[in-house]
A and B are shown apart, each in its own frame.
Chain A
Amino acid sequence: MQELVVISGKGGTGKTTLLAAFASLAHNKVLCDADVDAADLHLILDPKIRQRHDFQSGHTAEINPEACTRCGLCRELCRFDAIGENFQVDPISCEGCGVCYYFCPENAIAFPLNTCGEWYVSDTRFGPMAHARLGIAEENSGKLVTLIRQQGKERAQRDGLDLLLTDGPPGVGCPVIASLGGATAVLIVAEPSVSGLHDMERVAQLAAGFNIPAMVCINKFDINPEQGKAIEAYAEKKNIAVMGRIPFDPMFTKAMVMGKTLFEYNGRSEGSDAVRSIWEKVAQRLDDMERKNSQ
């Protein structure tokens, strides 16, 4: 089984819109929304939830005021300033390290497991989908990303599907790292701006650190062709395959507003032609990798 992870470094470059468009083109795949912080893919794919599970992860300290003697040891030991003068734990600051719980001489601190979101396995009009909703202000989104990808893989194995199409999170931190380990390839969706180039370089370095082959495509290329070419030049220098250019096209937003993929909305615009050609190249590349691997 192969997994293509679509990432961007910078947010809002059109990653999810592009992935939804790929969903209408690719065959035999499972979809995976690994941008658990701000999961948007379901807004287009309208999944019918078949399985719903709590996501439990990490612990938060809780002080029992009746047993607490206010000795102050926990406040002294806590490195996250999570225990206030009133000996109440601020759950947002609590890191879940358990140091207070371990050391409290009165055993006045409980350390329960957190339920911090839900994850789902669903059916969509384009195939099965694994996705999640992370509670607001929760940690451990990396763990949830790992879990979603595992679930996607298991579903693919069960149904005999051979591709996982994963919508990755923005940035280069914990959730992105969690979305990359073990992936077959990444497609970076860049935008032609000074920020787009800067962020693309950082996320490309991250993928290189994981030894994952990277491809790049540039969305809204005509907004700044010069920056677009700079991104392509950087990509070539770093052995990142350039998959194509997508022109700025209001169609993308219109399709999103209607809850449709680009091809469901209008398969014959300049933008959709570009996306189709990019997908063909990406699919070809994945095929080549598979062939090389089995030799």
Chain B
Amino acid sequence: MIISVASGKGGTGKTTIATNLACSYEGSVQFLDCDVEEPNAHLFIRPDIHDVETIRTPVPEVDMEKCTLCGKCSEICQFNAIAVLGETVLPFPELCHSCGGCMAVCPEKAITETGRELGIIERGSRKGMAFIHGKLRIGEAMAPPLIRKVRENIRPDVLTIIDAPPGTSCPVIASMKGADFVLLVTEPTPFGLYDLKLALGAVKLLGIPCGLVINRSDIGDDHVRAYAEAEKVPVLMEITFARKIAEAYSRGEMPVETDDHWKAMFRELYSRIAAIVQTPIEKTG
């Protein structure tokens, strides 16, 4: 089973929920941090990293001996990533989306592919939990191809928890697509509610069952609860604000490791999710 933990709004406690959920689970579990722009889960899980892989995406390289300057490559490219300039053809690797169009269209077979570094993937483990995350190279704009590479590590035989990035655009979709369940983490404030609506729209578009965690449930107002009820999204857990928890989080501590009550809470959260996933339901969207 794949559970993707997402939020719309940043800073609602997505990483806290994802890491505690993974660490409270008793069977085999793997954790994928797909928030490749700002990966944080490793600060809490503290895995031993045993391998690092540099991830590249293919970008064109032109053999000017073969090139006739016909310009077909720049004509097909939707991203202005290759141009005929006087007596030469110049690729702009940072604009390239790696579609391979220029290479396919070149009548002289003058284009081959080299790599642009997207970032790295680190793999590790802790207490039997497999841990994988991606780190986008600073200055690299495109997160989705790196997220897809992180996701290639998913093992179908174990529980997979994915920590998704905030927002609702392409990186989030890349982190939720194909999941069996999306757990949306929100807070009961106007910002939380507005961003939850967007996130729920994305989940519906993908047709994935979902549930809600309301974090800091005693701050703000009641509009998130009312909205969840109207949209028939089950509220699976509520966590009240406690300064102690905020402080523990700031130090990189996971409450499930020291507090049996929290451990029980998160196991209960998992059973609720499992119950929903195992019940056949009509997909929306």
Chain A: residues with CB nearer than 8 A to chain B? 8-13, 16, 37-38, 40, 43, 58-59, 77, 79-80, 92, 95-99, 102-103, 134, 136-139, 141-142, 169-177, 191-196, 198-199, 202-203, 205-206, 209, 220, 223-224, 227, 248, 250, 253, 256-257, 259
Contacts and interface: CB of A to CB of B under 8 A. Distances in A.
A152 B158 CA distance: 49
B93 interface: no
A171 B37 contact: yes
B205 A137 contact: yes
A265 to B, nearest CB: 13
Given A59-B78, A136-B168, 11 more contacts: A40-B191, A79-B100, A99-B101, A170-B38, A171-B37, A173-B171, A174-B143, A193-B250, A194-B251, A194-B252, A196-B250
B252 A12 contact: no
A139 B104 CA distance: 25
A11 B10 contact: yes
B78 A96 contact: yes
Interface string B144-162: 0000000000000000000
A10 B11 contact: yes
Contact of B136 (A77, A80, A173): A173
Interface residues of B, number: 60
Given A12-B12, A97-B99, A199-B38, A139 B169 contact: yes
A254 B160 CA distance: 37
Given A38-B9, A99-B100, A194 B143 contact: no
B171 A92 contact: no
Contacts of B219: 250, 253
17 contacts: A11-B11, A37-B169, A38-B167, A92-B173, A99-B100, A134-B168, A137-B169, A169-B167, A171-B143, A171-B167, A173-B143, A195-B40, A198-B38, A198-B43, A209-B139, A223-B247, A256-B189
A13 B11 contact: yes
Given A40-B194, A43-B194, A202-B38, A137 B10 contact: no
Contacts of B260: none
A97 B79 CA distance: 8
Contacts of B195: 38, 40
A102 B101 contact: yes
A92 B195 CA distance: 20
B271 to A, nearest CB: 28
B221 interface: yes
A170 B221 CA distance: 25
Contacts of A58: 78
A79 B98 contact: yes
Which residue among A8, A43, A137, A194 has the maximum number of chain B CB atoms within 10 Å of its CB?
Answer: A137
B173 to A, nearest CB: 5
Given A37-B168, A253-B189, A256-B189, A193 B38 contact: no
B169 A138 contact: yes
A14 to B, nearest CB: 8
